[in-house]
């Protein structure tokens, strides 16, 4: 299940979230991202919701936690491919105050490069 | 017996692997009320929050049993999630949005807020070292008329 969950390019981590993001699956993802963060430099994270049909507060906690990690390097967290169901819980959660919502992975990557051009490395 | 009155109870070990089982079994039981997809999503989220709380907070990831009872009376579903864990010291404070006793576990304090947002009623009873009972209620189908209008 954890196969092909991640893509890492140019210090951008693209994380394809599972069908159901709860305490159980969030724990597995956290372990894998902790390993990645330990050995690679990651400045921005894109959470891809295209396969996700369920999320609860554990998913909110996962994203908030990764947000705190990339903020050290002044990076951003992106949420993309949000469906109607996910939109409801995300908007109640207040996550949009810290994470950037965009339509697609490509749009998020573009935004990363735009923002990097405008700040010293 | 009245078709619209129905009761179901399940009890399972306090392990995270059972969270998806818990919400699916309640959703399947409620399905006979012909809920909308949104109502099913609301119930799944609320059940997931209550069960996750029992596992993380009630039993602190140690051994235990969690019980879910579901009553259907007419168009109202009542879900009762019970654990025999550590209990909640201050229920009022626990129910405040953003309050969490376990920030180190990346909890955000949104569980009760989601249960409140997605269900019609929420009651919490708890006793230190005795356990916690979360009762949630939702009327199914109350928005269906509005939906029909929108579709026509
Ligand atoms: N079954 C329970 N047993 C003991 N304490 C509980 C239980 N349920 C909730 N609590 C207490 O209430 C607090 C608030 O619960 P709530 O679900 O709102 O937030 P959380 O679980 O801390 O974070 P999140 O749900 O966002 O992951 C918890 O931090 C915990 O202290
Ligand atoms: Mg919780």
- Rg for chain B (alpha carbons), in Å? 16
The pLDDT of residue B40: 97
Band of residue A1 on the pLDDT scale cut at 50, 70, 90:
very low
How much is the pTM? Answer: 0.94
| A64 interaction partners in chain B (CB closer than 8 Å) | 106, 108
> Taking an 8 Å Cβ-Cβ cutoff, which residues of chain B contact chain A?
16-17, 19-20, 23, 37-38, 41, 44-45, 48-49, 52, 55-56, 105-108, 110-111, 113-114, 117
Domain hosting A26: range is 2-118
The alpha carbon of residue B76 and the mean position of all alpha carbons in its chain are separated, in whole angstroms, by: 14
**Three-state SS for A72?**
coil
How many structural domains compose chain A?
Answer: 1
User: Residue A37 maps to which CATH number?
Assistant: 3.30.750.24
For residue A97 the two structure tokens come to: 């105050």
Describe the strand order of the beta sheet including A12-16 as a list of residue ranges.
A6-9, A12-16, A44-48, A77-80, A100-102
Instruction: For A42-85, write each residue's pLDDT tens digit.
Output: 999 999 999 999 999 999 999 999 999 999 889 999 999 999 98
**Domains in chain B, number:** 1
Return the structure tokens found at B17: 């692997």
Mean pLDDT of B106-132: 97
Both tokens assigned to B82: 């019970």
- Domain at B16, CATH number: 3.30.565.10
């Amino acid at each position: 299940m954890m196969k092909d969950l991640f893509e890492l390019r140019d210090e951008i981590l693209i994380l394809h979230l599972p069908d159901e993001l709860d305490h159980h699956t969030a724990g597995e993802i956290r372990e894998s991202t902790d390993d990645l963060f330990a050995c690679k430099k990651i400045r921005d994270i894109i959470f891809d919701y295209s396969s996700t049909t369920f999320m609860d507060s554990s998913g909110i906690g996962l994203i908030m936690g990764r947000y705190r990690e990339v903020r050290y390097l002044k990076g951003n967290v992106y949420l993309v491919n949000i469906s109607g169901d996910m939109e409801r819980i995300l908007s109640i959660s207040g996550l949009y105050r810290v994470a950037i919502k965009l339509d697609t992975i490509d749009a998020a990557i573009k935004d990363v490069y735009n923002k990097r051009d405008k700040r010293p490395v | 017996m009245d078709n619209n009155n129905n009761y179901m109870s399940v009890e399972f070990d306090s392990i995270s692997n059972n969270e998806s089982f818990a919400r699916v079994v309640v959703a399947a039981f409620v399905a006979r009320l012909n809920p909308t997809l949104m109502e099913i999503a609301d119930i799944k989220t609320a059940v997931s929050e209550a069960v996750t709380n029992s596992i993380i907070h009630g039993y602190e990831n140690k051994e235990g049993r969690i019980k879910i009872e579901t009553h259907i009376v007419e168009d109202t579903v009542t879900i009762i999630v019970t654990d025999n864990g550590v209990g909640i010291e201050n229920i009022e404070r626990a129910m405040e949005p953003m309050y969490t006793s376990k920030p180190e576990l990346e909890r955000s304090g949104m569980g009760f807020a989601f249960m409140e947002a997605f269900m019609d009623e929420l009651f919490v009873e708890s006793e230190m070292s005795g356990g916690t009972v979360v009762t949630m209620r939702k009327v199914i189908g109350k928005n269906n008329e509005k939906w029909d209008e929108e579709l026509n």
